[in-house]
């Protein structure tokens, strides 16, 4: 069952190395990964804010905004490994992760370990970034093959394309000529992994990847606990 904590409970209740933070409303949610290398420290929130903007927020910046869950089925060693890995990913890859609609189960990295390059017109969302962090570490939280397309996916995907177009006006230098056009081709084709589904999957994952029906159901439950219907 989903055990969601409210934002105000984070400290001192958060006693793990790893957790999932989620915020938002009915139309848009955002997800990130809570991490720390030392239990005496306050957790930070790593999240893919948008195109080429991987952010690591301090506790003071995010603590009142995010609901959170722990990953109770990862033991302390696994959590500390993942937390250290997450920190290194941020340190070495800030501003290098493109935003995109299509997610491949190979994760966010090419087979030689380098992050997917902007020039390849691929990318991640905030939710698939969290999936990729787990998956590439040997914790495949979601069974991507089981995923189904839904009617409202296209609405969201079009909204994201419009956001990218707006963003390109402000930051034209960070978009390749074809990046947005390539994303448009994914509308109605690419699976959408919703933040609440990824959050719930990371929360309940033990060993077997969570299939679509389970994730969708737990995702709805999580939204309900967030007061979103």
Partner 1 sequence: MLNQLTVANSTKTYRENEVSSEIRKDYIVAVIAKGSTEIPLFFKPTYAEKILTRSTSKAIHSIEKELKQWTLDLFNKEETEAIDPANFINKEAKSHLNQIYSYDKSSDSKALSYMFDLIEEAFSKHDLLLVDALLSNIDLVRTRKIVFIGLLRGTYRARSKLKSWNSCALQISKFLDSNGENTKRLLRGLNQFNDSFTLTSTTMS
Of 15, 38, 173, 229, the one binding partner 1 (CB under 8 A) is 38
Number of residues that bind partner 1 (CB under 8 A): 28
- Least separation, in Å, of the C-beta of 6 and partner 1? 29
Give the residue with the Cβ less far from partner 1, 59 or 156: 59
Q: Closer to partner 1 at the Cβ: 8 or 111? A: 111
Within 167-226, which residues bind partner 1 (CB under 8 A)? 207
Q: Of 9, 25, 37, 224, which lies in the binding site for partner 1, with binding defined by CB under 8 A?
A: 37
Candidate residues 45, 97, 115, 124; the one interacting with partner 1 per rule CB under 8 A: 115
**117 is a site residue for partner 1 (CB under 8 A):** no
Q: Give the per-residue contact string, 131-160, with partner 1 (x = CB under 8 A; - = no).
A: -----xxxxx--------------------
Residue 111 engages partner 1 in binding (rule: CB under 8 A): yes
- Assign 3-class secondary structure to the chain: CCCCECHHHHHHHCCCCEEEEEEECCCCEEEEEEECCCCCCCCEEEEEEECCEEEEECHHHHCCCCEEEECCCCCHHHHHHHHHHHHHHHHHHCCCCCECCCCCCCCCECCCCCECCHHHCCCECHHHHHHHHHHCCCCCCECHHHCCCCHHHHHHHHHHHHHHHHHHHHCHHHCCCCHHHHHHCCCCCCCCCCHHHHHHHHHHCCCCCECHHHHHHHHHHHHHHCCCC
Site for partner 1, rule CB under 8 A = 37-38, 77, 80-85, 87-89, 91-93, 107, 109, 111-115, 136-140, 207
């Amino acid at each position: 069952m989903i055990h969601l904590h409210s934002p105000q409970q984070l400290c001192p209740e958060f006693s793990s190395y790893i957790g999932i933070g989620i915020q938002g409303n009915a139309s848009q949610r955002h997800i990130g990964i809570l991490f720390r290398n030392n239990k005496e420290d306050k957790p930070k929130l790593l999240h893919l804010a948008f195109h080429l903007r991987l952010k690591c927020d301090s506790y003071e910046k995010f603590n009142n905004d995010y609901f959170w869950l722990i990953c109770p089925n990862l033991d302390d060693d696994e959590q500390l490994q993942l937390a250290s890995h997450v920190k290194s990913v941020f340190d070495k890859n800030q501003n290098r992760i493109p935003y995109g609609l299509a997610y491949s189960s190979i994760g966010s990295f090419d087979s030689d370990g380098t992050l997917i390059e902007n020039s390849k017109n691929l990318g991640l969302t905030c939710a698939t970034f969290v999936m990729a962090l787990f998956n590439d570490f040997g914790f495949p939280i979601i069974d991507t093959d089981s995923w189904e397309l839904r009617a409202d996916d296209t609405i969201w995907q079009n909204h994201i394309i419009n956001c990218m177009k707006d963003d390109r006006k402000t930051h034209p230098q960070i978009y390749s000529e074809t990046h947005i056009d390539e994303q448009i081709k994914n509308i109605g084709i690419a699976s959408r992994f919703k933040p609440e589904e990824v959050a719930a999957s990371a929360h309940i994952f033990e060993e077997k990847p969570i299939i679509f029906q389970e994730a969708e159901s737990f995702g709805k439950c999580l939204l309900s606990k967030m007061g979103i219907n």
